[in-house]
Structures are given as structure tokens and as C-alpha cells.
Structure 1
Amino acid sequence: MIATVDNLKRLCIDHYFEEEIESAMGVCISLVHSDDLHDATLPFRLMRETGHDVSADDVLRRFTDSAGEFSLALSKDIGGLLSLHDMSHLDIGEESLHKAKKFSTKHLASAIRDLEPGLATYVRQSLDHPYHLCLTQYKARHHLSYLQSLPNRNTAAMEELAIAEFQLNKMQHQKEMAEIKRWWMELGLAQEIPVARDQVLKWYTWSMTILQGPSLSRYRVEITKIIAIAYVVDDIFDLVGTLDELSLFTKAIKVWDIAADDSLPSCIRSCYKALYTVTNEMSDISEKEHGLNPINHLRKAWEVLFDGFMVEAKWLATNQVPTAEEYLRNGVVTSGVPLAFVNILFLLGHHHAADMDATELTDHIPPAISSAAKILRLWDDMGSAQDEGQEGLDGSYRELYLMENPAGDAEEHMKRLIAREWAELNRECFSRRTFSDSFSQACLNAARMVSVMYSYDKEQRLPVLEDYMRMLLI
């Protein structure tokens, strides 16, 4: 039964069987005490994913010595190691899961050369794209291929349902993408601001990943509009406006009056009009569907983003070099993640958010949002954006860290920071559970998308992103 639940989740068809899966959680409670590595670690992962309180230390104690080191006898248990590896990425700061990750990674990597080809491929994909950190729809396709390669399997019905689900999702995504393209062409900002990025497909891919399921179709379209405008604003700050013009633009946003932009250049006025219109439409949707009018919160989210961009613009204009910590703190805001997620929060109908003062969401960004934002900023700064043809100077955490630590290993340091933020995000989503499951899932999906968006190969391409878009969209 537990293996069936795992397959349903890996194939992204578990939403059809929510009651049955919840019933199966009762079986998991007893299985986590099993002496079999796979039988203990798989239920742990399923329980933690669904918000059940379960101790990693209690589960793993059976497989470690007094120093917390894993028994070498487990190194030949490939199924157990795969499950241990999956489990290890759901850490909320536990040292036992850190050790589990090191142990499973080491022994799975060394075992690949001795495995039959199908299993070797599956293990390699699991190491390269850990289940919890990876795009669920992307992993689902690979898991389906693996199931189909097994000689003796009893998953044919699940496979058929998964294939039908993939096809339905792809048609829905194509329909949404067509709507976004029409909106973007009619908006005309790409023509008015030629230096701005024109990447509608990439912008929609963010929304497609963050908000999954047929019921969220309209929300994906609306959030893509917010993301598109945020990218244009970023490029205006980097490539178009003078410091005085950017200051006027920021003041106009705070006034929130379409007539307040008369002194701005035409292209910036057009951007302001689009921003103003899209944001008010977002507020109208929330009010109509959930009885919430979040316009003050949405305005404040834009104000905070603009203030963050102004900080960066002034650093550049005055040749001021911030500390790495100052840069990262501001970079959380200018990543655009807080802006997007304040909008998502109200689209999903979070009534308690409406009761908060606007500054509670924007000046004190909740950890579920800030962790995803830090992961994005750090991944972005580890990579390169040469494919976007950008000439603006945004700064880089990597460069600032090396200025402060000339002998340091910036990449390793940044990877440690990313791992720390993943643990914090897990803690928010699986332990503290500050927000609803749907919002927590959106935060996790955003963090999962980051490495796909910023993992460039030697040819400055994004192979996983290209593969992902072919699977789900093109």
C-alpha cells in the first residue's frame, strides 16, 4: 500500500486519491519503526510531506551506531539507500539527516557502475535531481519511464492515468500560454522598451510550476502578468531610467495615481499604466472570489520592490559597495519573490493575511517566502545570465563574498547557505505550517524551479529547463 502511495505521488496523480492516501498514513505510523531501511524511511518521507510530526532521529537510530554513523552493511541496499536519500532532503536542521544524505549519496554514486542499466539511470537521476528538490512534473515523467521499463510490474492502471493527466495538463498549459502571449503582444511594452527582456515563455513557466492543478488556471495567467511587469521594471532600473527618473517612478508608485506619472518618459509611463491595471485587476479577482480587497497590501508589495531597486540604483550611481549581507538582504526583495507571493497569498484566499497590516507581509517577510527568495538570489548569483543579453550591473553576492573573503570558496559557501534556506523552508512547510498546504506547496515549487532556471551549461543553455518545457508545454 505504501509503495502505491509513493507511486501516486511521484506520478503527480495523488490528488485523485486524497482520502485513500490519508487512510494509508495510519499504516505509516507503525512502519517507521521497521528494521528494514526502505520500509522505515519511505513512510517517514510520506508522513513528513503531509505534515505529520515524526522524528528523523527515532527512525534512523536503528540503522546507526552510538556515534550516529550508518552501518556499512546498508551500502548494498540500493532500494533502501534511494529511500534514505529522498528522506534526507526533507531535513529541518537534523544532523541525522545530514549524515543520511552524505552516506546515501556516497554509496549510491559508487554503486552505479555495477547496476543494470535501467536502475543505474534511475539512481543517477535521483542523485542529479533529488525528489524533494526537483520539479514534481519533471520527475513524474522520468518515474513513469522507469516504471514502464520494469519487467514485472503491476502499475499499468496508474501509468495510464498519469499519461492522460500529462496530456490534459499540456493542453491546459498551451491554452494559458496562448492567452498570455495575446496579452503581452497587446500590451506593447516589448516594442516600447526594446532593451527589456521579452521572455513570455520563461515567465509563464514560473507560474506553471508554482501553481499546479486545473483549478488554478486563471491564477497562473494572472501571476504571469505580475512576473512579466516585474521583469520590465527591473530592466527599466538597470538599462533605461536615469536616477532622477527612477526616483520619480518610485514616487509615482507610492502615490498610486495613474495621473501622477506625467513627468515620466513615455515608456516608463506605459509600464506604470500596465502595472497599475494588472494590480487592480488582481485585487478585483481576490475580492470577487474570496471577499478580500487586498489593494493596500499589493500596492505596498510594489513599493517595497521599487525601494529595493532604488537601493541598488544608488549603490551603482555612487560607486558604493555594500557588504555581502546587505546585498543579500536587499536581494531578497529585488528577487521579486515577495511581490509574487503576496499576490499568490490573496489569490488563494488567505483571509488571515487580509487581517495583517500591509507592512507585516512586506517589511517583515515570512520565512516561507524569504527562504525561497534567498535560494533564488544565491542560485542566480552563482550562475550567469549571459543568455539574456543584459548589460545592466546588478552586483553579485559571489563577488562581494570574495572581496570580503579573498581565500574563500564562494560556491561552497553559497551552497551551504542554500542548504540552510532549504532546511528553513522545510521547517516552515512541514513543521510550523504557518500557511495553508496550497501556499506552502507554492513556496516549495518556487524553490524547486530556481535551480532549473539558473543552472547553465558550458554553452550558456538551460538543458533541464528546455527539457521541462518540451514535456509540459511545447
Structure 2
Amino acid sequence: MMISQSLQFQLAFQPSSSRFGMKITYKNHGIRPSASINVNQFSDQVGVNHRRSADYHPTIWDPKLIQSLTTSYTYEVHGNRLDKLKEQVSTLLKSTKDVSILLKLIDSIQRSGVAYHFNQEIDAAFDLVTSFVANGSCLSTTALRFRLLRQRGHFVSTDVFDEFKDENGHFLERLSDDLEGLLNLYESSFLGMCGEDDDIKEARDFSVKHLKSFMLTRLDYDNMNMRNIVEDALSVPLHWRTPRLGARNFIDQFKVCGRINSWVLLELATLDYNLVQSIHQEEVKELTKWWKNLGFREKLSFSRDRMMENYLWAMGIMWEPQYSKGRKTLTKFICILTAIDDIFDIYGSLDELESFMIAVERWDLKAMDDLPQYMKICYLAMYNFGNETAYDVLRDHDIVVIEYVKKEWERLCRSYLTEAKWFYDGYEPSPEEYLKNAWISVGGHGAIVHTCLLLGLSPINETFFNNSISDSGPLYWSCLITRLSNDMGTSKAEMARGDVSKSIHSYMIHKRVSEKNARDIIKCMMNHSWKKLNETIIKRSCSAIVSTLSLNMTRTALSIYQHGDGIGTSTGSTKDRLTLLIVEPISIY
């Protein structure tokens, strides 16, 4: 059965014959049903004789290895050289007046990960870029300007591409040999918004067609470096890449082919990458000690032991050196969240989970009295972390946020409990029901809100939090893409062990489609959500920092689940990426 893209969209966004789910036939009497799972049988203090296990593998990161991480790159030794290189690049930015050259320079600065050093200079440069009239420019300059301005939150009409089209609205075939123009056109097509479908589709289809033709026809050695660049772009577009991994990739690529604008910039990017990596190394050393002292590894052995992988989430959301405190706190939040998720998703009985929810709502140490022993350590860790976070925000920013912290944990645990009740009742939620709950249960909302609290964003009030849970802001669309990415990467393993149905299974049941077609529907939803996310950023529907955090979380989710469950099974690409980001510096020469 084949499904067209338009039908995928219809199935994804129109209500089913009923917006409600359906009950399936089994009755589990308090014990979660499972298919091919490993069940540990024992008697514990609460009399539950069957506990599920997801068979998560132990951590692949030896704490001794992490503590032994070292680098020769330190700010004490290389700080002066860094400052001199920054000064030279700043001068280059200020002195460049040719808009086409300036655009390439800004692009290289951003892609190489050093733009945070030059915010004022880039803002000033964009004044020149914004006033520049693109008519009569080459395709490459027009497309690059379109992408950079939209990334910056400036609206640029897709009409700027009309001069490169024929009377039928198709791109001119003479552009098929303009490789640089095709690459920039391709990358710009991922900055589209709703209502621009025809223009964006035409740009993407045309560029992809001729880029793939280049890959098939130009096999000579002289084009090998460019072939690698094209192949890399077609695998993951620039707009979807995490900034830190993107910087590593950009530096490695352009050291080989020499297409970066300035060797001074290349040296700066390489040195800065290695110096920031030294900060990240110190952070994971500190977090490793915290994680060991927390005791979850011994007390909650059924849960995922993934401190390093959770740090990858935090680094993906905000990697810059000035956000060290926020990055460490965010990692702790995700570690505790992961344990609670595993309790609700795999291990706890329904009575236990309801007791935990009551304790979270009470936010009181006495509430632990009604919890089984294994839950107490998790509850206390959450309680202490929440209060410490509120204390830090009050100390650093004079803002009282404890009620907001409490609300986030309530909202998250309530979404977990909803899924657990569906599971115990044998209830199959409709796709609409599932997604209404699941964009919260993925945890991204709590992560970004905690980050905003730590940064002391103003104003932090009821309006801020009401806006954060609306279905029209960047955080909603980011969480939705994060959830759908998670489902795409983890659904096979979760369905095999009998977890609650996720979006793919829900569409298979309620829309009566195959797994392949259900996945196609999810991809269509993700593409639509990307356009909505772009729109909220371009129209500046919230602060720039919230937009950036939301965008980076989305990118990180795509990266982590690109090849499956990059957290549950972290021995493949997740390990490789952590090695590049944390362990291995870039050679200066």
C-alpha cells in the first residue's frame, strides 16, 4: 500500500473517526504484559513479584577513563594566541564591504563555532547584508543571504529566487553546473515556512537532483573533496545539525579542501574548539563524581546508566563555555529524569507510580514515607535537585522560582503516569491523544524551562510559563520533533518488549497502515513541524535565547536518534560522537 505525501499529511493532521483510543483485550491485573522481555522474579518490600527489565547495557564509559582525560590546550597557555586571532578575525569582519564575500565570511564564522566571540561585529555586518539588494546577484549569494538572514530571525521572501526561474516557475537548467549555488540553494530550502511549500519544494527538488547527478558523474580525483562535501550535505542539512558536531565537521572538512575564507579563521576555530573541549572535559569529570555519589547505579540498577550520553544532550542544547553551570545542571536534570522515566515506563507497579505522583504534588520530604524503598532515593534526588536549582536562581538572579520548578516536575511525572495508566489498562490512545501527552513526556519542555530559569531570563512569571506550554511557540514544535525523533529511533525495541504504544504503532492501529507508511506519516509531521519551528523563529514569537535553545534541542534529538536509540544503546554513533566532542582534540596542523 503506497501513501502519497498529501495523504500522509491528511492522515497525520486530520482527526481519526474518533479522537479517542481503544481498549485492547488483555487484562493484566497489575502486572504489565510483555512479549519478548526478561522478567526478574523476586519478592520485595511492596509484594510485587514481577518486575520488567529493558536489559539496558551497562555504561561503556569507565569512570577512571573519564577522570584520566587530559589535554595540552588550556586558556592559561593559549589564551594570548586566542585573543590575537580573535582580534584579526574581528578586523576582517569590520573591513569586508563586498556583500558576497562578507556573507561567506559570516557563514564560515558561524559554521566553525566561533560566532559567540563576534556577536557585535556580526550584528553590524547584518545591517549591511539586510540593506543589500539581491537582484542581479548570483544564485549562490542570493541563497546564502536568504539562509543567513532567516537564521538570524529576518524575514526574506522566497520571491528572491524568481529571477533564477523560467516562466513556468522552474529553476533554469543552466544553473545545473553551478555547484556552489546548488549547495546554497539546497541548504536554504530547509529554512522554509508553512505557506511556502511550492517554492521550497521546487528549490529542494532542483538542487537535490543536480547534486545527486554530480555525485554520479564526476568521479575524478580532483572532485573528491567536493564530492565528500556534497555527500555530507545530502545526509544531514546544515540547519538540522548540532552546532558543536557541525563545527567539528566543518573544521575537519575545510582543513582538507582549503575552502574556508581565511587561514586565520581556521586556526582560531581549531584552537577555540580544543580550548572549549578542555572545559567540557572538566565538566564530565565533575559530573562523574556527582553521578557516583548519587547512588543510582547501585540502587536503581534497572535504569539506564547514561551520564555521558545525557551530557551529550546538554552540550547539544548549549555548548558555549560561558554556560558551564547551566550545562552541568541540565545534565543532572536529564539523569534524574531518565531514572524516573524508567521507573514509570518499565519497573514500577501502578500503585507505586500513583504514590510517587502524589509525593511530587506534595513536594514534601514526609511524602517519602508512603513510597517503596527504591523510589525514595529517586524522589529525594529530584526534590534536592529542584530546591538547589531554585536556590541557585534566587542567589544569582534574585528570582523566586521554586513553584515553577515544582510545576515542571509535576507536569512531567503526570505525563509519565498517563502513559503508565494507558499501559496497565490495555488502552491504545489515538495518535492525537498520544501526541498531546507525549510532547511533554519526552522531557524537552522541562529541560528548556530549567535552562531558562538558570539563565535568569526576564520576565520569569506566569505569562512566560503559560506561553511555554502553548502549541504555537518554538518550544512546542521543538518538543514535538524531539518526541517524533525519539519514537522513530526507539519504537522497534519498545514494541518488542511490550511498552505503551508510541506514535508509529498508534498510527498503524488507528489509521490501519503498515509500519513503513506509519513512519512516512511521522516524517511528514516532522517536516511540517520544522516549518512551524522556522516560522516562530523568523517571526520572533519569543526571545532569541528560547528560540536558540529550542532549535538546538531539536537538532540534538535528530542526531541522537539518527541511527536508532542513541541513549538506550550507546555503543555506536553516540560513542563516536562523544569521542570527537570530549576526548579527541583537532590537530592544529
* TM-score bracket, shorter-length normalisation: over 0.9
Paired position in structure 2 for 1:44: 146
How far residue 149 of structure 1 moved from its aligned partner, in angstroms, is: 2.3
After superposition, where does 1:413-428 map in structure 2 within 5 Å? Answer: 413-428=521-536
Paired position in structure 1 for 2:577: 468
153, 159, 164: which is aligned to 1:63? 164
Question: Residues of 2 paired with 1:219 and 1:243: CA distance?
Answer: 34
Deviations 1:29-54 (A, max 9, x none): 32533341001111111111112222
Question: Residues of 1 paired with 2:352 and 2:471: CA distance?
Answer: 28
514, 519, 522: which is aligned to 1:411? 519
How far residue 289 of structure 1 moved from its aligned partner, in angstroms, is: 1.6
Aligned-residue CA RMSD in angstroms? 2.3
Query: What secondary structure, in the 3-state scheme, does the structure 2 residue paired with 1:46 have?
Result: helix
Q: Which amino acid counterpart does residue 427 of structure 1 have in structure 2? A: E
Change (3 A) 1:40 1:360: closer
Paired position in structure 2 for 1:374: 480
Q: Which amino acid counterpart does residue 481 of structure 2 have in structure 1? A: I
Is 1:258–1:273's contact at 8 Å kept on the other side of the alignment? yes
How far residue 401 of structure 1 moved from its aligned partner, in angstroms, is: 0.4
Structure 2 unaligned regions, length at least 5: 1-101, 584-589
Paired position in structure 2 for 1:103: 206
Question: Residues of 1 paired with 2:140 and 2:255: CA distance?
Answer: 22
How far residue 153 of structure 1 moved from its aligned partner, in angstroms, is: 6.5
Is 2:310–2:334's contact at 8 Å kept on the other side of the alignment? yes
Change (3 A) 1:319 1:388: closer
Greater CA radius of gyration, 1 or 2?
2
How far residue 278 of structure 1 moved from its aligned partner, in angstroms, is: 0.5
How far residue 159 of structure 1 moved from its aligned partner, in angstroms, is: 0.8
Structure 1 unaligned regions, length at least 5: none
Paired position in structure 1 for 2:42: none
85, 89, 98: which is aligned to 2:186? 85
How far residue 357 of structure 1 moved from its aligned partner, in angstroms, is: 7.4
Question: Residues of 2 paired with 1:114 and 1:151: CA distance?
Answer: 23
Change (3 A) 1:5 1:357: closer
Question: Residues of 2 paired with 1:458 and 1:417: CA distance?
Answer: 20
Aligned length: 471
Counting helix residues as a fraction of each chain, which structure ranks higher? 1
Change (3 A) 1:154 1:445: closer
Is 1:348–1:439's contact at 8 Å kept on the other side of the alignment? no
384, 396, 400: which is aligned to 2:490? 384
Question: Residues of 2 paired with 1:142 and 1:40: CA distance?
Answer: 25
How far residue 388 of structure 1 moved from its aligned partner, in angstroms, is: 9.9
215, 218, 221: which is aligned to 1:112? 215
3, 7, 14: which is aligned to 2:115? 14
TM-score by length of 1: 0.94
Question: Residues of 2 paired with 1:389 and 1:469: CA distance?
Answer: 28
Paired position in structure 2 for 1:320: 427
Question: Residues of 1 paired with 2:468 and 2:405: CA distance?
Answer: 10
TM-score by length of 2: 0.76
How far residue 390 of structure 1 moved from its aligned partner, in angstroms, is: 9.7
Does residue 5 (structure 1) correspond to residue 112 (structure 2)? The answer is no
Percent sequence identity is 30
How far residue 63 of structure 1 moved from its aligned partner, in angstroms, is: 1.4
Is 2:473–2:542's contact at 8 Å kept on the other side of the alignment? no
Question: Residues of 2 paired with 1:328 and 1:458: CA distance?
Answer: 19
Change (3 A) 1:458 1:302: closer
Is 2:430–2:506's contact at 8 Å kept on the other side of the alignment? yes
Q: Which amino acid counterpart does residue 36 of structure 1 have in structure 2? A: C
Paired position in structure 1 for 2:300: 193
Query: What secondary structure, in the 3-state scheme, does the structure 2 residue paired with 1:410 have?
Result: helix
How far residue 309 of structure 1 moved from its aligned partner, in angstroms, is: 1.0
How far residue 391 of structure 1 moved from its aligned partner, in angstroms, is: 4.6
Question: Residues of 1 paired with 2:309 and 2:496: CA distance?
Answer: 16
Question: Residues of 2 paired with 1:160 and 1:320: CA distance?
Answer: 58
User: RCO (CA 8 Å, sep 6+): is it higher in 1 or 2?
Assistant: 2
Does residue 448 (structure 1) correspond to residue 577 (structure 2)? The answer is no
Q: Which amino acid counterpart does residue 128 of structure 1 have in structure 2? A: S
257, 268, 274: which is aligned to 1:167? 274
After superposition, where does 1:6-405 map in structure 2 within 5 Å? Answer: 6-29=107-130, 30-56=132-158, 58-93=159-194, 94-95=196-197, 96-115=199-218, 116-150=223-257, 155-356=262-463, 361-362=468-469, 364=470, 367-384=473-490, 391=497, 393-405=499-511
Is 2:162–2:169's contact at 8 Å kept on the other side of the alignment? yes
Is 1:11–1:140's contact at 8 Å kept on the other side of the alignment? yes
Q: Which amino acid counterpart does residue 519 of structure 2 have in structure 1? A: E
Paired position in structure 1 for 2:56: none
Q: Which amino acid counterpart does residue 446 of structure 1 have in structure 2? A: M
Is 2:490–2:565's contact at 8 Å kept on the other side of the alignment? no
Is 1:64–1:71's contact at 8 Å kept on the other side of the alignment? yes
Is 1:31–1:43's contact at 8 Å kept on the other side of the alignment? no
Moved more, 90-99 or 145-154: 145-154
